[in-house]
Amino acid sequence: MKQKPEIRPDDLSGAATRSLITRHLAGMHETSPPESVHAYDIEKLKDPTVTFWSAWIGGEIAGCGALKDMGKARGEIKSMRVVDTFLGQGVGRAILEHIMAEAEKRGMKSLWLETGSSAAFKPALSLYASKGFKRCGPFEGYTDDPFSIFMTRAI
């Protein structure tokens, strides 16, 4: 049976979290050219406009995600990642639902995201679509890129 993760604010100081962010960035560089990698490193995730959460199951980090406040009641989902050993157990869905609920609590009216377009991102695209995200054009300084897919949804 799948165990529901404990999702908590994270200050990015712990070794497990830092290791997951390092793995996340490496994974993005494995699937996209450098100019098409828009994932945040630890310093960008510490920006005051970004709230970062980690998900834990049985004392192990299982995933992470972040919400960037873009102003004008809009938020951007950043750094969604599930640890490989926890894939397919609902961790990504739990993190996404947590971020969506937090955005709504903060009075945000829409959520936005950029993700990759290669086959490696198919599960993420399916998850986002299942939660009502629709494809859209580039936003907030992004540009058209064959390696990026942009999505949004109203809250």
Q: What is the pLDDT of residue 42?
A: 96
Q: Which of 74, 82, 27 lies closest to 54 in space, CA to CA?
A: 82
Q: What is the pLDDT of residues 12-55, one digit of tens each?
A: 999 999 999 999 999 888 888 888 899 999 999 999 999 999 99
Strand partners, 53: 9, 65
74: Cβ contacts below 8 Å, ≥ 6 apart: 108, 109, 110, 111, 112
Q: What is the pLDDT of residue 145?
A: 94
Q: Which of 25, 122, 131, 118 lies closest to 78 in space, CA to CA?
A: 25
Q: What is the pLDDT of residue 28?
A: 87
Q: What is the pLDDT of residues 58-103, one digit of tens each?
A: 999 999 999 999 999 999 999 999 999 999 999 999 999 999 999 9
Q: What is the pLDDT of residue 51?
A: 98
Between CA 87 and CA 149 the distance in angstroms is 21
Q: What is the pLDDT of residue 31?
A: 84
**End-to-end CA, the chain:** 30
> Which whole number is the average pLDDT over 128-135?
98
Q: What is the pLDDT of residue 1?
A: 45
Helix 122-130 × helix 91-105 angle, to 10°:
50
Q: What is the pLDDT of residue 2?
A: 74
Q: What is the pLDDT of residue 17?
A: 98
Q: What is the pLDDT of residue 85?
A: 95
CB 7 within 8 A of CB 94: yes
Tell me the whole-structure pTM to 2 decimals: 0.95
**Sequence-ordered strand ranges (E) for the chain:** 6-9, 50-57, 60-71, 74-82, 110-116, 134-136, 148-154
